[in-house]
Structure 1
Amino acid sequence: MTVLLLLLILAAIAAAGFVLGRRRALARAGGNPKLLHSLPAYYGWHAALMSLLPAVLLMILWVIAQPIIVQRAVTDTLPAAMTADPTALELTMADVRRLAAGLDAAVAGGQMTENEASMLRTEFTDVRDKLARVGVALGSAVTHDVLSAAQEYREITAQFALWRMIVVIAVAVLGLIYALAVTKPDLWARNRVERVMLGLLMLASTIAILTTVGIIWSLFSESVNFFRQYPFTEFFFGLTWSPNFRGGSQLGFLPLLWGTLYITLISMVVAVPLGLFAAIYLAEYASKRVRAWVKPLIEVIAGIPTVVFGLFALITVGPFLRDYFAQPLGLGNSGSSVMTAGIVIGILNIPFISSLSDDIINSVPQSLRDGSFGIGATKSETVKQVILPAALPGIMGAVLMAASRAIGETMIVTMGAGAAAKLSLNPFEAMTTMTVKIVGQLTGDTDFAAPETLVAFALGITLFVITLGLNVFALWIVRTYREQYE
């Protein structure tokens, strides 16, 4: 039984628990809800939670522990040569899992019966040909040791799945029985339910914090490995980016930082005026009918995939800038340029600035507008001298959010700006960003012990620090101006 099907069964048991718990509480109160400590629905939720949460927790622990236990059991059946070192063991287990999945797919698709799959290791001498005939393709040679391990893997996994279903459903039923047994009019069901919900909220917060810690740790630990192999000063102050896995790499960070900031600056020059002016028009000048049409049309841009914007930059914007600006001005002859990527990313960010700024401007108290009009200010004077200053903290937050997205954009830069890491002021030259090089260094066959691969983590932690600085700056602005207007 799959995890999804088991979750559906648990959800059905919890739904039944809700109904039974509510009915039992009312029955014990003689049908009079006033005799209950809590509302009847709380008794239902108490029964549902008592049946669902322990079973789900057990299933999560089971799913985490099962692969570890199964791998250890299968490893014991393999020859010592296949498990001599971690790399050999990982490669062998990859073949075992791939072969087991192929056999499962062949059985599920009807190309092979379960009995035939179980007897492969004893009845077929040419295993590869037999597996090929039923559609099981492997990238490496199939040995009888691997086949036996795959069969063992399938058998143990099936046994674990069966026992998981039995134990988890039994825990859910026992939880439901216990909840119904303790359900009585004086049960503080509301307090129990609220404590459980508080625990779930705290768990969600903890998971979010631990996720952030895990991200930072993964970047930091690999960055430390990188700086043990490559000089710190050459990375942060080097002017040349030229990775070479054969040796002699120059991994200067400054060309990538310059390309990132240059493209971000151009995108902000495009997005901030257009987005802010659109927000002011929609919030202060547009009629309800115009606003009802224009705002959704602007927000449609946010739903377009970035790869489509990349194609737009590659096919339309790049050639246009090259033919009508770069070549006539003698500034270049390439369609891939900083200007191309910056303009397209700016268009991408218009809805973020426009929608957020529009909501923020609308949240400015009407009393400020009325007071401005009352002393004789015009509409434009009110917007410039009252509304925009009052909404400035939120607008700055929207701008910095758009800047963070521009810094982290990859697909548009790859297709619109090229991959050249250089220091240049010419906006019509091809350049690249940190995110593009992070993807490039981790794509294909990589050696995670080489500095040419580990440099991606150094770039990642540096990018993290830059965006964190932007957030701290935004928080400082918000707090400063809030003190002024509150």
Structure 2
Amino acid sequence: MTTSTLLLITAAIAMIGYLAGSRRALSLSGGRSSSMHSRPGYYGSFVAIWSALPAALLLGVWLVAAPAIINSSIRSEFPAEVKAQSQASQGLSFGMIEGIARGMRALSAEEAAQAERNPADLRNLMGARGVAIAGDPEAYMIKAANDLNTMNARSNLLRNIAVLLVAVGGAALAYRLIAPRFRARNRVESVILASLVVASSIAILTTVGIIASMLTEATHFFARVPAHEFFFGTVWDPRFAAAGATASEGQFGLIPLLLGTLYIGFVAMLFAVPIGLFAAIYMSEYASQRVRSITKPLLEVLAGIPTIVYGFFALTTVGPFLRDISSQIHGLATGDYSNFIQAQSVLTAGFVMGIMLIPYVSSLSDDIITAVPRALRDGSLGLGATRSETIKRVVLPAALPGIVGAILMTASRAIGETMIVVLAAGVAARIQLNPFEPMTTVTVKIVSQLTGDLEFTSPQTLVAFALGITLFIITLCLNIYALYIVRKYREQYE
């Protein structure tokens, strides 16, 4: 029985428990709902919860614990010469055992016995079933694969029996507890409240886990490279060390990457904020309902386009266009038709990223402006102000906290962009202020440092975590500043 089938059976038991609990509550009430503490639906929900929730928790624990126990047991049976190897080699051996185990499940009992007696036949037998394995298996691998299949089968059987018994037992126990004065509603609402708390905690725990993982690896990096060389260095040249090297070769200056991140983000915001804000003002204050119903969805389509598509657009269209138009302008002015705007440049990446960010600014700002009370507009217009004066002096100041939050959220999105920068701005880590030249960002270097088969033991790889925690701190500072602005102007306009 597969896990999905087991879940469906558990859900069916919970549904039956709900119907049985509701019917029992109705029969105990004798047609008078006032004689029961809770409505019949709460009694049914109580039975369903006690049949599904413990069973689901047991299933989850089993799915996590059983594979770990089985894998540990299989590894403990490895020959001494295999145990003496490195963890990576043992992991490769265990991976091959898992592949053999999957293939042996497709063999008959006679074929499996033949393969165990003669390991050389296993590859041919599995090949006939369309299952390929890498290399020739050893005798201990075939035995371990058989043991793995046997232990998994027993574990699955015990799991199915245990989960179904818990589901049925929970439903029966909850069904027996139903009584006129039983506080079913309180019990059900307590479970719902606990589930809401767990759901709310997931985001917090995920954030804590991300920060902890980055800090751990970043600490290992700063143990090898001094912090002042990283935060105040002006040269980025990691120079990947050879395998087994322990020296922290290369230079890991953050300044070129940070400058490129902020510069490209600033150029993108120069394009996105005015256009997005003016589009939001038009849609919320001037456009008719029909125009708004057409324009807003079309504008928000831009937010659904994958960023790699924007990168292709920048690489094949915007970059060459800016390069060619710059050469024409330069040629008409000086007679020299060499281009002064590179195809990959800060301007190209900023322009295309700004197009991508327009829906974020416009949609959020439109919702915020629309939420401004109508009474403020009517009061301003009643005092003789024009529509434009009302927007400038009443609506926008009232919506300013939300607009600032939307802009800073957009800035965080710009800082974290990768694919557009890779294709439109290049990977050159440089310190320069010419928007017509290529630069790169922190996110691009995080990707490049973690590309390939690498071990997290060298500074060249660990620096990616130091870059990640730096981006996190920058985003946190933006959020803190946004909160300050929102509180300041909210007190002024409330």
- Give the 3 Å change call, closer, same or farther, for CA 141–233 of structure 1 in structure 2: farther
- Give the 3 Å change call, closer, same or farther, for CA 186–326 of structure 1 in structure 2: farther
Determine the structure 2 residue equivalent to 1:277: 278
Determine the structure 2 residue equivalent to 1:348: 356
- Give the 3 Å change call, closer, same or farther, for CA 32–406 of structure 1 in structure 2: same
1:133-190 superposed Cα distances (whole Å, 9 cap, x missing partner): 4333344553222232222222212221121111111101100111111112211110
Amino acid at match of 1:43: Y
Determine the structure 1 residue equivalent to 2:315: 314
Alpha-carbon separation, structure 1, partners of 2:422 and 2:347? 13
| Deviation, structure 1 residue 72 | 1.1
Determine the structure 2 residue equivalent to 1:46: 46
Higher mean displacement: 75-84 or 218-227 = 75-84
Q: Report if aligned partners of 1:319, 1:335 keep a CA contact under 8 Å in 2.
A: yes
Q: Which of 140, 143, 153 is the equivalent residue of 1:145?
A: 140
Determine the structure 2 residue equivalent to 1:365: 373
| Deviation, structure 1 residue 426 | 1.7
- Give the 3 Å change call, closer, same or farther, for CA 191–470 of structure 1 in structure 2: same
Matched, 1:11 2:2: no
Higher mean displacement: 224-233 or 426-435 = 426-435
Q: Report if aligned partners of 1:103, 1:136 keep a CA contact under 8 Å in 2.
A: no
Determine the structure 1 residue equivalent to 2:335: none
Determine the structure 1 residue equivalent to 2:98: 97
- Unpaired runs of 5+ in structure 1? none
- Give the 3 Å change call, closer, same or farther, for CA 346–141 of structure 1 in structure 2: farther
- Give the 3 Å change call, closer, same or farther, for CA 180–315 of structure 1 in structure 2: same
- TM-score between both structures, scaled by the size of structure 1: 0.94
Alpha-carbon separation, structure 2, partners of 1:468 and 1:119? 63
| Deviation, structure 1 residue 69 | 0.2
| Deviation, structure 1 residue 410 | 1.2
Amino acid at match of 1:324: I
Q: How does 1:61-460 map to 2 (within 5 A)?
A: 61-84=61-84, 85-104=86-105, 107=106, 112-113=107-108, 116-117=111-112, 119-246=114-241, 248-325=249-326, 328-329=329-330, 332=340, 334-460=342-468
Amino acid at match of 1:273: P
SS of residue matched to 2:223 = helix
Q: Which of 463, 468, 471 is the equivalent residue of 1:463?
A: 471
Alpha-carbon separation, structure 2, partners of 1:265 and 1:113? 66
- Give the 3 Å change call, closer, same or farther, for CA 118–12 of structure 1 in structure 2: farther
1:226-254 superposed Cα distances (whole Å, 9 cap, x missing partner): 01111211111111111222263111111
Alpha-carbon separation, structure 2, partners of 1:2 and 1:419? 48
| Deviation, structure 1 residue 122 | 2.1
Q: Report if aligned partners of 2:267, 2:347 keep a CA contact under 8 Å in 1.
A: yes
Number of aligned residue pairs: 480
Q: Report if aligned partners of 2:25, 2:178 keep a CA contact under 8 Å in 1.
A: yes
SS of residue matched to 1:187 = coil
SS of residue matched to 2:295 = helix
Q: Report if aligned partners of 2:417, 2:443 keep a CA contact under 8 Å in 1.
A: yes
Alpha-carbon separation, structure 1, partners of 2:266 and 2:339? 19
| Deviation, structure 1 residue 440 | 1.2
Amino acid at match of 1:313: A
1:48-71 superposed Cα distances (whole Å, 9 cap, x missing partner): 101011011111111111121011
1:340-366 superposed Cα distances (whole Å, 9 cap, x missing partner): 221111111111111111110010011
Alpha-carbon separation, structure 2, partners of 1:327 and 1:71? 67
1:297-322 superposed Cα distances (whole Å, 9 cap, x missing partner): 01111111112111111111111111
| Deviation, structure 1 residue 19 | 1.1
| Deviation, structure 1 residue 116 | 3.1
RMSD between aligned alpha carbons?
1.8
Higher mean displacement: 222-231 or 6-15 = 6-15
- Unpaired runs of 5+ in structure 2? 242-246, 331-337
Alpha-carbon separation, structure 1, partners of 2:347 and 2:150? 59
Amino acid at match of 1:68: A
- Give the 3 Å change call, closer, same or farther, for CA 318–148 of structure 1 in structure 2: farther
Higher mean displacement: 147-156 or 265-274 = 147-156
| Deviation, structure 1 residue 114 | 6.0
Higher mean displacement: 4-13 or 165-174 = 4-13
Higher mean displacement: 123-132 or 220-229 = 123-132
SS of residue matched to 2:372 = coil
| Deviation, structure 1 residue 43 | 0.8
- Give the 3 Å change call, closer, same or farther, for CA 308–101 of structure 1 in structure 2: farther
Alpha-carbon separation, structure 2, partners of 1:327 and 1:148? 74
Amino acid at match of 2:432: S
Alpha-carbon separation, structure 1, partners of 2:281 and 2:480? 26
1:414-448 superposed Cα distances (whole Å, 9 cap, x missing partner): 12211111111122222211111111111111121
Alpha-carbon separation, structure 2, partners of 1:429 and 1:118? 68
Determine the structure 1 residue equivalent to 2:485: 477
Alpha-carbon separation, structure 2, partners of 1:319 and 1:231? 41
1:26-60 superposed Cα distances (whole Å, 9 cap, x missing partner): 11222332221111111111111010110111111
Alpha-carbon separation, structure 2, partners of 1:216 and 1:380? 46
Alpha-carbon separation, structure 2, partners of 1:55 and 1:324? 67
Higher mean displacement: 174-183 or 12-21 = 12-21
Alpha-carbon separation, structure 1, partners of 2:168 and 2:81? 47
Q: Report if aligned partners of 1:46, 1:179 keep a CA contact under 8 Å in 2.
A: yes
